[in-house]
Structure 1
Amino acid sequence: MADQEEPDLERLGLDQLRILRRETLEQEADLSYLRRLLHGRMDILRAELDRRPGGPARPAGTADGTGSGTGDGTGGAEGPSGDLLDRLPAILTDAPSTVRRSARHVTLGPPRGYESQLEADALMGDVQLADLAAHPAEELLAALERLRAHEREVSGRRQRLLRTADGCNAEITRRYRDGEARVDDLLAGGPF
């Protein structure tokens, strides 16, 4: 669904619109979970790189060097240099967002399948989170770049899904507003 052209929503029946909206939001929740996994791994890799003497400098204006808004920059020259496990809560804590956005329901549960975990693990390659200190910086940077590239692709897919879900909502609303659909039909037991 996410890789196909956007459907012609005006041609779909009301039941089809509702089903498409539900399926699209389920797919978006799965991608959102995968995206959170990718961001967590990127934050951990950056913290390990920053912990090392002569760690990479972060570009000005971002907390994490990518503009993603995650991570708090702990582990640099002025941050703690303790064990990675001890620093995980600080590494994985998001800084408050400076961008105002409209509210959207967010699901916090795991995805319907196990694929997101496998996908995020595969992108790490030979780099294992449990033993980051054993890997040279070049391997960590390569893994970080793979994660960044995949996160950009996942974000694009997510945005397309959200546009489709928003389009379904707008079309359903229009049909009720214009009298093409009736609330009585909904109350009579039609799919929600």
Structure 2
Amino acid sequence: MTGDNVSGYQAGGRRALDRVLAPDFLENLQGMDLPTLREHRTVAEQEEADLSYARRLLQGRLDLLGAEEARRVGADGAPAAVTRVRTDAELVASLTDVLADPRRTDHGMGRYTSVEPSRVGEHRRRAELAVADPTMSNLTAMDDDQLAAARGRLEDLEQELSADRHRVQVAMDACTEEITRRYRDGVVTIDDALRATR
């Protein structure tokens, strides 16, 4: 873990992430009443959506760093001529293109969620600070060592977020599997489910 430790499980923490990753979050799933089980899944699903969004922000910045590194090397492997500094608007447009790329996916094969990111804070604070770093808006002014160091910092944070996200997905899937089991085994009926949502 690096930096100010706003990412990653903190025992006794008050964030949704701390709740989902707490050792007792998945205790006695089979004994939970249906509303509580559904609430557990909802909390985990929202946290997964937020972590996925934060990860995409970081991946977008990493893509921009990679593009700058490639530009410096040039198509033939030789150092490229220095071009003009891109404006903030051009950088935002590039990042927007990356985030809108339909080829990118953050939820894994076969995983579907309709949950939207809910906030721009809490455990994602470091991701946002990394994306908003003013030195990152002028990549051509950074020397090669600074560029490599920036990439290293973002890659470390992306790995931390990815690890958190995977653990949250495990919790979310466990809740989903238990709900599915109840329907499959007849423990819960459609009428039960409707009553649980009232």
The TM-score, its normalising length taken from structure 2, stands at 0.68
The corresponding residue for 1:40 is 60
What's the offset of the Cα at 1:127?
5.8
Q: 1:181 to 1:95 in 2, by over 3 A?
A: closer
Q: Does 1:102 align with 2:110?
A: yes
The 3-state SS of whatever aligns with 2:50 is helix
Superimposed CA distance per residue, residues 108-134 of structure 1 (whole angstroms, 9 cap, x where no aligned partner): x54423347642243469662321111
SS at match of 1:128: helix
Deviation at 1:142, TM superposition (A): 0.9
Give the gaps of 5 or more residues in structure 1. Answer: 56-75
Alignment RMSD: 3.3
Return the alpha-carbon distance in structure 1 between the equivalents of residues 146 and 132 of structure 2.
9
Structure 2 residue corresponding to 1:29, chosen from 49, 58, 61 = 49
Give, in whole Å, the separation in 2 of the partners of 1:122 and 1:101. Answer: 30
Match of 2:192 in 1: 185
Equivalent in 141, 157, 161 of residue 150 of structure 1: 157
Runs in 1 of length 4+ with deviation above 3 angstroms?
80-84, 93-97, 113-118, 121-127
For the residue of structure 1 that corresponds to 2:45, the secondary structure is helix
- What is residue 163 of structure 1 aligned with on the other side? 170
Preserved CA contact (<8 Å) 2:54 2:124:
yes
Between stretches 14-23 and 121-130, larger displacement belongs to: 121-130
Q: Deviations 1:103-160 (Å, cap 9, x if unpaired)? A: 41255x5442334764224346966232111111111111111111111111111111
Q: Matches of 2:133 and 2:63 in 1, distance apart?
A: 18
Q: Aligned residue for 1:20?
A: 40
Residues 42/13 of structure 1: CA separation in 2 closer, same or farther (3 Å cut): same
1:178 partner letter: D
Counterpart AA for 1:23: V
Q: 2:75 aligns with which of 71, 74, 77?
A: 77
**Does structure 2 conserve the Cα–Cα contact (< 8 Å) formed by 1:18 and 1:191?**
no
Q: Of the two structures, which has the highest relative contact order with CA contacts closer than 8 Å and spacing of 6 or more? A: 2
The 8 Å contact of residues 51 and 124 in structure 2, kept in 1 or not, is answered as: no
Q: Cα deviations across residues 146-179 of structure 1 (Å, max 9, x unaligned)?
A: 1111111111111111121111111111112222
CA distance in 2, matches of 1:161, 1:28: 6
Q: 1:4 aligns with which of 22, 31, 38?
A: 22
Please give the secondary structure, in 2, of the residue aligned with 1:101: coil
TM-score between both structures, scaled by the size of structure 1: 0.70
